[in-house]
Structure 1
Amino acid sequence: MAIIHPTAIVDPSVHLADDVEIGPHVFIDADVAIGAGSRLMHGAHIGRWTTLGKGNQVFPGAVIGQSPQDIGYHGEEAYTVIGDNNIFREGVTVHRGNRENTSTIIGNNNYFMVNSHVAHNCRIGDHVIIVNGALLAGHVEVGHRAIISGNCQVHQFVRIGDYAMMRGGSGATKDVPPFCINDEMSWIRAVNLIGLRRNGFDTDRILAVKRAFKKIFRSGMRLEDAVNELDTAPATTPDVRMLIDFIRASKRGIGSGHGKIRE
């Protein structure tokens, strides 16, 4: 049975699974479902039409599923759908979809640090870390095991690939491919070697990614030509195939392989 502090405000329509803990002064709006083992701490706010899976932790002052910051939104039924075992630290904000029947979707085992922001219609994969003060604009997509470092800014509709990393304070107005490090403003600086090793990539996998990176971003070839050459190589690994497919699917374009190192 759920444990609800007497000062909490919980709409009668809310569905709480077993072992949910609702702390002091928590507010939960109508049409919300919260999975087993989730814990909402002092002053957390859960907006309407939000679904939280199992084992989520919502820290004091976090606001999950509130109306989007979009002047075109007028209260239509839109959703926030969150998986299992996510952590939302103090001051995190996650907004619902900005049009009727649209959703902001967050996967499993993600960590959202203090004052990070996920805008309407974003899609977040699994095992993502979004560090203090990072800002994701509307419709951003973040792949599995990506890291968005402190105070990063991501433009609307940008995609961040699997295992990618944005360095602290950097910005992305164009897509960041899988396995890559984004620095400055949309500068694809290097391969995320530390991230790949931490995620169990062996030497052969890393070497294949490094060779593909060099071809795409350091050879001086046109992006399309470099990708086509990789595509027709005799042995294209699954990781390089992921990189090729991501680049070809880009609508905003890919960050530049050339940039100036910060002094």
Structure 2
Amino acid sequence: MIQPLAYIHPQAKIADNVVIEPFVTIHKNVEIGEGTWIGPNVTIMDGARIGKNCRIFPGAVISGAPQDLKYNGEDTIVEIGDNTTIRECVTINRGTKDRWRTKIGNNCLIMAYCHIAHDCEVGNYCIFSNNTTLAGHITVGDYVVLAGMVAIHQFCNVGSHAFVTGGSLVRKDVPPYVKAAREPLSYVGINSVGLRRRGYSSDEINEIQDIYRTLFVKNYNVTAALDIIEAEKKPTEVRDEILDFIRNSNRGIMRGFSGA
């Protein structure tokens, strides 16, 4: 169902059962999957690739040009996966020639007034609360929860299953499975509630907790802690994911636990 007060470029590719409400603007180089709902006053610009059964609420702007002075009109895109909800006034910019795309995964909830800048890559089942802002070139894993008004510095990474508390400034990488809070951002425990909700066993949760005690609580430097973890903990998918994330961190990881 397409309202007559919407503008859709004749070359845009709109699948069956897409609902487009009044005053929507859809540009030329756009693809929208089956069953998606586009609310009133949404603007979808060139380069948008929107999956099936998404919901995009009024005032959102998808695939706007990057806010990057290096951008020179390259043919880049935004990819949004299936079953993702984008609430009011969210802005998602398309990529630059660094990654050529900005990507949002499946089954995400991006709440009102969030901004996701150029070349970001967001995994599946993520929740970003109101006014959360991602600068350019950020990578976010699966099942990440960012509470309201979180701001993430460009080129940072956030590991899967991490939880970042509201109002946090993220200047360093946030490893998988942790809770991050305080200023400057620090480790305050593992995301045990989220892990239980997603089916992690008590043994798996205890393993994660032991790894982060060595890394963040026992006053080793990062290099020494990683060597101890590798030597003392048997190889598992979880252990190796944490070790790989930290060793591949370009910006360095956030601070360890502090009782202050």
Q: TM-score, normalised by structure 1?
A: 0.95
Deviations 1:63-94 (A, max 9, x none): 11111111222322111111101000001110
Correspondence list, 1:164-175, <5 A = 164-175=162-173
Distance in 1 (alpha carbons) for counterparts of 2:126 and 2:29? 27
Deviations 1:33-65 (A, max 9, x none): 000001101001111011101111100001111
> Which of residues 117, 139, 147 in structure 1 aligns to 2:115?
117
Residue in 1 that maps onto 2:256: 257
Give the letter aligned to residue 65 of structure 2. Answer: S
Residue in 1 that maps onto 2:134: 136
Q: Which runs of 5+ in 2 are unaligned?
A: none
How far off is 1:100 after superposition? 7.8
CA RMSD in angstroms comes to 1.3
Distance in 2 (alpha carbons) for counterparts of 1:60 and 1:225? 51
Does residue 6 of the first structure (1) align with residue 9 of the second (2)?
A: no
Taking a change above 3 Å as real, the CA distance of residues 137 and 101 of structure 1, as seen in their structure-2 partners, is: closer
Distance in 2 (alpha carbons) for counterparts of 1:123 and 1:260? 33
Distance in 1 (alpha carbons) for counterparts of 2:212 and 2:80? 33
Residue in 2 that maps onto 1:190: 189
How far off is 1:221 after superposition? 0.7
**Does 59-68 or 177-186 show the bigger shift?**
177-186
Task: Report how many aligned residue pairs link the two structures.
Answer: 259
Identity between Structure 1 and Structure 2 (%):
36
Does residue 227 of the first structure (1) align with residue 208 of the second (2)?
A: no
Q: Which runs of 5+ in 1 are unaligned?
A: none
Correspondence list, 1:1-263, <5 A = 3-99=1-97, 102-184=100-182, 185-233=184-232, 235-259=234-258
Distance in 2 (alpha carbons) for counterparts of 1:155 and 1:143? 16
Give the letter aligned to residue 135 of structure 1. Answer: T
Whether the aligned pair in 1 keeps the contact of 2:64 and 2:94 (CA below 8 Å) is yes
How far off is 1:187 after superposition? 1.1
Distance in 2 (alpha carbons) for counterparts of 1:239 and 1:147? 19
Whether the aligned pair in 2 keeps the contact of 1:41 and 1:58 (CA below 8 Å) is yes
How far off is 1:223 after superposition? 0.6
Whether the aligned pair in 1 keeps the contact of 2:47 and 2:78 (CA below 8 Å) is yes
Distance in 2 (alpha carbons) for counterparts of 1:158 and 1:38? 31
Taking a change above 3 Å as real, the CA distance of residues 96 and 46 of structure 1, as seen in their structure-2 partners, is: same
How far off is 1:259 after superposition? 4.2
Distance in 1 (alpha carbons) for counterparts of 2:122 and 2:93? 13
How far off is 1:195 after superposition? 1.1
Whether the aligned pair in 2 keeps the contact of 1:77 and 1:101 (CA below 8 Å) is no
Give the letter aligned to residue 142 of structure 1. Answer: V
Q: Which runs of 4+ in 1 moved over 2 A?
A: 98-101, 258-261
Distance in 2 (alpha carbons) for counterparts of 1:171 and 1:225? 27
Distance in 2 (alpha carbons) for counterparts of 1:236 and 1:132? 38
Give the letter aligned to residue 137 of structure 1. Answer: A
How far off is 1:237 after superposition? 2.6
